[in-house]
Amino acid sequence: MRPTPEFRAHHDVEDPRVDEVSFRQAWRVHARLDQLLADKRINRDVWQAAIDFRATWAIAREIGGREPGMIRIGSADSGDASMIARLDAEMKVAVVEQAIGRLATALVVACVIADLPWAAIARHCRRHPHTVRDWTVLALFALARAWAGATRRPRPSSFPRQPEKLDRAVASS
């Protein structure tokens, strides 16, 4: 099935290629993120952080399953493990969103998750169409810095740091 002319107008599509060099029987669509890497606007580490963020976003925004409050601790149900993974993914996404801000998050989601055309990203984020790529590159670099911190488990802030304070907190409750 061929891509429509409208689809090709908004996406970078490569024809199938079967020859001595390659064997690709399907159409290949280049994502905006891949194009930024090919244009050397971002480096491999930033690209990998964006790919990891996209995978984590997909887990965090998973449709269906149980409600967040319905986790049974200690059960052998595999749904519980997937819910814990989903909650962990939601925490990572929230940490990154808080670290990079609303505008950068909107740019990253529009480019990495939705793969919108540059003009649509510019309209959605209220940026000029000529500078939206630069804004997105800056947002992707901010994502890479924040992603490095989000993948480490933060120390629970509600726990006292000194054991004697913990003993006092337990004794007082």
Helix, strand, coil shares, percent, the chain, to 5: 60, 5, 35
Are the C-beta atoms of 98 and 105 separated by less than 8 Å?
no
CB count within 10 Å of CB 90 equals: 17
Q: Which pLDDT score is estimated for 76?
A: 52
Q: Which pLDDT score is estimated for 79?
A: 58
Q: Which pLDDT score is estimated for 66?
A: 45
Higher pLDDT, 173 or 17: 17
Work out the widest C-alpha separation in the chain, in whole angstroms: 76
Q: What pLDDT, in 10s, does the model give residues 39-91?
A: 999 999 999 999 999 999 988 887 444 444 445 555 555 556 777 888 888 99
What are the extents of the domains in the chain? 1-30, 31-153
- Percentage of residues of the chain with pLDDT beyond 90: 43
pLDDT-based confidence at residue 164 (cuts at 50, 70, 90): low
Q: Which pLDDT score is estimated for 108?
A: 96
Main-chain dihedrals φ then ψ at residue 23, nearest 5 degrees: -130, 85
At position 136, the amino acid (one-letter code) is: T
Alpha-carbon gap, residue 49 to 60, rounded angstroms = 16
12-40 mean pLDDT: 82
Alpha-carbon gap, residue 53 to 50, rounded angstroms = 5
Higher pLDDT, 156 or 109: 109
Q: Which pLDDT score is estimated for 163?
A: 47
Are the C-beta atoms of 56 and 85 separated by less than 8 Å?
no
Q: Which pLDDT score is estimated for 87?
A: 87
Q: How many helices (H) and strands (E) does the chain have?
A: 8, 4
Alpha-carbon gap, residue 1 to 36, rounded angstroms = 28
